[in-house]
Structure 1
């Protein structure tokens, strides 16, 4: 029984080391240099592996995504008829919630303004509204969105969320479906995007979309935070919104093309915070434990958890 680690842009060695510790009875291989006989490979742990690789494994039983999203597996490629499993791990969820909470608080407590004042040696206080006066809206109420929403509620923010289907989260006003999207945006001062990338969400967040956010908030304009998928936003429209006043500020961790090009105007905008897709890093130690547990359960005849709906795209 062989397990293949097929990752693009990452060092596979830490993943291989952890999987050997957790599944010593399985042979651990890495793509592209140490694949061995493809017929022996039953499991693939992947991040952006090409579809032709996945389709070249006749004994494949399960595909495990090593990122929070699965569009890197589903996008534009045919797949073998095997289950695809999403990563749902407390470590990854906690990291995402940390980053989102950090960005919300950075903007709420005016840290960019005070950082700029520090460069000028300027001592000047600004009025600080309470968290209850700030309406945060979260697009996407899956595992990550729900956890972030609950954390922001604990900080006292006025939190709402939107999802394709109706959700129920204590302390969170939940909107659902296309009919309720505009009402959700109209009550939102700080918009957090955690939507998966699907045909319906690709380039959803454009200038017209952002123009629907609340204009009467205590921070003087809406703020956009994206830790979901880069292709859900139109970056040219984000730049336009940040320069024409449609957005007061933004925190962006994901982009249409990564790495973000050095000549992107986003780098030079003083009201944009840029991080290099690190909101929820996939930690080999934590996620390998999750994958090993799934494999052991699967081999014991138990059902896999967190299966991807291939039609829905998440």
Structure 2
């Protein structure tokens, strides 16, 4: 019998345990799933931030830790976590992110806000948007989420360029890498999508200097991580008119405090970290498959590269 600990906030148990139990059975695994440490040994930890577990050295027999979050910045620096760590790449999360990103890129591309918020009797038909093939979109981050979004946008005929730290190839998407590639991706981005992980090298990546590389009136969609952007530099660029709009789903502090200037800025749309979510019905299958692999001595899916930070 395999023993697994669901180390997560208490609210996860009623939502996740039925799906995990079903997925384990479907994978042919006999698993005793536990909500709290009970003094016994555990083979695996299924982890989400916000629970009571912080010292992994108290669970010396654990073979691997399976994170339920796509981002691992809240756990990767824990010195007691010495066992293999995987991040969540959930098909449902990917689908949800593609829907959010394509929706907001289309919103900015088509200029929908002028009509949604302009119900004042004024007939605004003086600006006709270009076709998607004439709209330049750059996607920073070409992992599972960013790659899927770049492919979807290219499928809608947008002129898409993607950038990642390491060189990648995606059919239909011009892929750039390195510092020069980043500057090129920014300089042509009428709409910029941020889907990079948060690492020491990506914090404040969009500072005042890099924001100034964007074309006049460019729009930003950030469902990645809040600290990718320098907040003050962003507000200054919006106030000057250098940037047209920023749709932000993630922030340095969440929930975003009511007094934060993003709320009052007409150039900012705040969405409350809803771009996508890990869905238990699909994510549980990913956990079960990784546990099956571990038990079979196979390579784990989505193993975190601790040096890279994701």
The alignment's TM-score, normalised by the length of structure 2, stands at: 0.92
How many Å separate the matches in 2 of 1:197 and 1:79?
Answer: 21
Asked if structure 1 preserves the Cα contact closer than 8 Å seen for 2:7 and 2:53, the reply is no
1:276 equivalent among 267, 272, 275: 272
Asked if structure 1 preserves the Cα contact closer than 8 Å seen for 2:63 and 2:84, the reply is yes
Structure 1 stretches of at least 4 aligned residues deviating more than 6 Å after TM superposition: none
Name 1:27's counterpart in structure 2. Answer: 32
Name 2:296's counterpart in structure 1. Answer: 300
How many Å separate the matches in 2 of 1:167 and 1:9?
Answer: 39
Asked if structure 1 preserves the Cα contact closer than 8 Å seen for 2:90 and 2:279, the reply is no
Deviation per CA, 1:222-245: give whole Å up to 9, x if none. Answer: 111111111222222222222121
Name 1:71's counterpart in structure 2. Answer: 73
Deviation per CA, 1:257-313: give whole Å up to 9, x if none. Answer: 111111111112222221111112011111011101111121122221111101110
Unaligned runs of 5+ in 2: none
How many Å separate the matches in 1 of 2:122 and 2:242?
Answer: 28
Q: Aligned Cα RMSD in Å?
A: 1.7
Asked if structure 2 preserves the Cα contact closer than 8 Å seen for 1:5 and 1:45, the reply is yes
Deviation per CA, 1:17-49: give whole Å up to 9, x if none. Answer: 21122225212122xxx3212x42221222225
Name 2:223's counterpart in structure 1. Answer: 227
Shift of 1:10: 5.0
Shift of 1:139: 0.5
1:36 equivalent among 29, 32, 38: 38
Name 1:18's counterpart in structure 2. Answer: 19
Name 2:56's counterpart in structure 1. Answer: 54
Shift of 1:127: 1.6
Shift of 1:80: 2.6
How many Å separate the matches in 1 of 2:11 and 2:113?
Answer: 32
Unaligned runs of 5+ in 1: 216-220
Aligned length: 303
Q: Provide closer, same or farther for how the CA distance between residues 135 and 297 of structure 1 changes in structure 2, counting only shifts above 3 A.
A: same
SS at match of 2:33: strand
Asked if structure 1 preserves the Cα contact closer than 8 Å seen for 2:5 and 2:37, the reply is yes
Shift of 1:110: 1.1
How many Å separate the matches in 2 of 1:211 and 1:201?
Answer: 17
Confirm or deny that 1:262 pairs with 2:258: yes
How many Å separate the matches in 2 of 1:188 and 1:167?
Answer: 19
How many Å separate the matches in 1 of 2:189 and 2:10?
Answer: 36
Q: Provide closer, same or farther for how the CA distance between residues 79 and 98 of structure 1 changes in structure 2, counting only shifts above 3 A.
A: farther
Shift of 1:170: 1.5
Shift of 1:9: 8.4
